[in-house]
Structure 1
Amino acid sequence: MTQTLAPFACLPEASRGRRFPESMSTFRSPFQRDRDRIIHSSAFRRLKHKTQVFVEHEGDYYRTRLTHSIEVAQVARTISGVLGLNTDLAECIALAHDLGHTPFGHTGEDALARLMEPYGGFDHNAQALRIVTRLERHYADFDGLNLTWESLEGIAKHNGPLTGPNADPKHAPDPLPYALVQANALWDLELSTHASAEAQVAAIADDVAYSHHDLHDGLRSGLFTEDDLMELPVTGPAFELVDRIYPGLDRMRRRHEALRRVFGTMVEDVIHVAQNRLDAAQPKSVDEIRAMGTTIIRFSKPLYQDLKAVRSFLFHRMYRAPSVVEVRAKVTAMLDDLFPLFLRQPEMLPQEWRADVEAAQSETELARIVADYVAGMTDRFAIQEHARLFGSDGAD
């Protein structure tokens, strides 16, 4: 069934096109083509062995960046479909949003950002742009994936404007990461405005997905229990409801039934708020969405406050749990070994990186090449390389 798009959706036929012109596909829209290029990219495949919180080898059931991205895409399709938005574009941005992540989750990003401070910094969203505009080198006519402007815009600013009066300092580092500056210089992404509603949906879908699956993973790891979640807003009422409907339900089914209700609460809240805000604003085009000066896709204030309490709990009981902090220290030390080594001895990089190394005109350019290589590592490859080069895997 063909979806009827709202007037404020991103229409494929109205796309601003690609930096390098290509003929239209006979059976896929430009945004479907973008999505497919993301899925077939090397960077997307590597997400299979990059983690969210736990190191890749710690268990097969914990989320990876790949499973997370698939879950985000599912939420984005659901929300965008209900709102009359372009589901293909929302899915594309959702699938691409974590392409720039380093090994070892946010721990790896923190380490690489610190190591790259003298060379223009590091940010995973900016690195995703660098990947899709430069580092994926499979096509004869261009570097990168030659995505449409709308997809690049969504990757760059799905969390909001990055410059100007509406920029959120939390998501708009000053100065901007070099990778973002370079991508924007190639094609103006209008960094001072909000992104399309599809990109905003991808951003909120990320919040929904990780809020939900981090609860699952934290329970599975034993870092907290269902009784702990009974004390929290959102999760507590969900468990109480399941207990009323299914008294005596076994533990795993009880957990799943409660957390899927938490998931549903978040999605339904976003849809309800968006419908109300869109009905009030009556935007006639995607450009009106971009110019609104505020996000139109968001949680209600009451749910947002409840989710802050849940995230605070997760921060202290999961992200900063002693066992997690111990592993964070080990993997940080691994990157602190690997990055300087490759910077001092770039001849140790694989053969396919040699041309870039030889073309580097400064230590800054070389450091950025090394950062590209290290950021592209999976958890397991980083551990293996550290063991090969330093005689210890650092994660025992």
Structure 2
Amino acid sequence: MSKIVRKIRPSEYWRIGEHESYFSDMSLMGLHLHKIGTHFIHFKKGEPNRIEYRMEVTKKKSISYEQIDLYEENGWEHVTSYQYFHVFSSPEESNAPEIHTDPAEQAYTLQQLSKILLVNLIAMSLIVPLSIGLLSATWFLDGTPVLRLVEGRMIQQSIMGIILLYYVYYSIGAARAIRSLKRDLKEGKAINHHAPWQNSLHKNSVLPFIFFGVALVSTILPVMQLIKMDTYTLPQEDIGLPIVRLADIEQNPLLKRDEYYIDEVDWANRYSTNWGIFAPVQYEVDESGIVEDKVWLDDGSTYSPTITSKVYKLTFQSLVEPLISDLIKWHSYEKEMDLYIERKHATLDKLMVYEENGMKKIVAAKGDVVMYVRYIGYAEFDLIIENIAQKLATSAEK
């Protein structure tokens, strides 16, 4: 059995003369064309021999048996087909007559392909602005693009948008090249079957690698997020999470949990994990408590403090400042944003605080770790800040 050697298929399939020359040069190295796939060209390893190749373009993806028989009668054997392109071969010493002797007549074989490529280009041109518009709105409409980047919600969609843009670029190149080739043929300029191929085909062999890499990342990202993303009931004891605990803030032995179970998870006292390229460690935590012998001063109802925390350990420290800004925007009404005050702290790199009507919001950072805390209750601000500083100091060292 002949050994099959696979080589990356050059992406610009419309370079007919260069492909024919490439296949012929491979035959001199003992690699004879066997099959053209989506990403790879398959060669059969054999004895070195100069083989001439010709690529025929048809209106449909299939080629008729009658046409194959006609070419074989003239010394050209059908090797393989890929979409609208069909490859024939003939040993150089057989001096088989050319498949096409009239370039102007050959130009008509490209007519249908040219129309198909134009229709594809028009369709892509309509889809792309809509897709880009939706992506842009999702990224920037609420003014928190860094938060979306860090949480990884839109990265896969953005990668798909990049792939879509690449297809538009690719479609434009294909349509223009086929149109140019058709024009040259009509003017009597025959295809150069021995055109230099090294520069253009090698260059375009890199694109499938890039495309494969982007597609692989696009596939891996959601899988990684699914693996890392989960929600659990938060144990009452300390399990080493870099979060501020409600019991540490309230410091009241009568504090009990205010529970709310759905599907065996206490959503009033839960922690969720997440993962992203730009923040591989992420936590979101809610805790709710109740002190039965204590009441809210404004309405006399039972005192029920709550705390919500979000923690992000970032890949790049340069994201700290913009993430803090986006967290403030995301968790604030428009008027609240102006009420945040920056405070200095001995161990924190950044500290932004807000207080109104018993609600306290804090966004703090140390090193590459950012924490957002929203607390409703009567604990002192300084106590909350010191707890945050302690947790961030531990996280930043890891």
Which protein has the bigger helix share?
1
TM value normalised by structure 1: 0.22
Q: Kindly name which structure, 1 or 2, has the bigger radius of gyration based on alpha carbons.
A: 2
Higher strand fraction (1 or 2) = 2
TM-score, reference length from structure 2: 0.22
Larger RCO, structures 1/2 (Cα 8 Å, 6+ apart): 1
